[in-house]
Chain A
Amino acid sequence: MKIETTRFGTIEIDPGQIVEFPEGLLGFEEYQRYVILEQPDRVFSFLQSVEAPWLSFVVMIPELLRSDYHVELEPQFVKELGFENPEEGKVLVIVTVPEDITEMTANLQAPIAINLKTKLGKQIVLMEGSYKIRHNVLAELQRNTYMATKAAAE
């Protein structure tokens, strides 16, 4: 099927790839259907609304920022998203890109959990602790690369 998007023009998507967020994203509860537009070999992907052409987010895999990142889903969410097996899961975080791109931040406190099998998704709010709403992406990437290099050297 074809969908209209403000940033990518008219694109062809496989209806089987549509992910439904029954509650929408926080602040955008009225839009429930999205597709993930992945770019091969690129760090950033896009979460594009199927219903609103203008509604598009930059997303990325949180492990690139924090290699030990993990989301423990509460039992009610495991049920809501229809998880039978953790392998079905994909976690993405939303990246806010301001005019000065180097200042882009990732929201590690409210990741997006998707069940790739049931195609259901939800924005999860993690309890306050190690992760915040705004992590500078460039600084975290640098830190993570440094840690990985250090670990490899040891």
Chain B
Amino acid sequence: MLVLTRKVNQSIMIGDQIKVIVVDVRGDQVKIGIDAPKEISVHREEIYSEIQDENKRAVLSKNIDLNQLDKVLKPGENRGGDLVNKFDEGR
């Protein structure tokens, strides 16, 4: 791995389109700015494991009563009606 030393406000270019700048350093926290073309996505590495965990939590449990799912949206009939209409428009 390439390791470079930079000071606050100094930056690094990756290729000629991606710029990484050290915005601020406080204790063990580093604030980093990234300028990259729109088609390149930038994520914290942990986001992938957070989404993996959330997907695992989302697997439909046996304990969930599926009939309750839609009922919980309709405490009053009017609101329920609105939601169904919106659903139809959305399709």
Contacts and interface: CB of A to CB of B under 8 A. Distances in A.
Q: Is the contact region of chain B dominated by helix, strand, or loop, or is it mixed?
A: helix
Contacts, number: 110
B44 A27 contact: no
Q: Is the contact region of chain A dominated by helix, strand, or loop, or is it mixed?
A: loop
Contacts of B59: 54-57
Interface residues of A, number: 44
Nearest to B68: A101
Contacts of A26: 48, 51-52, 55
Interface residues of B, number: 38
A141 B58 CA distance: 19
Interface of A: 6-7, 25-28, 41-44, 46, 54-58, 61, 63-64, 74-76, 94-99, 101-102, 104, 107, 109-110, 123, 125, 127-128, 133-134, 138, 141, 145, 148
Interface of B: 39-44, 47-48, 50-64, 66, 68-70, 72-73, 79, 82-84, 86-88, 90-91
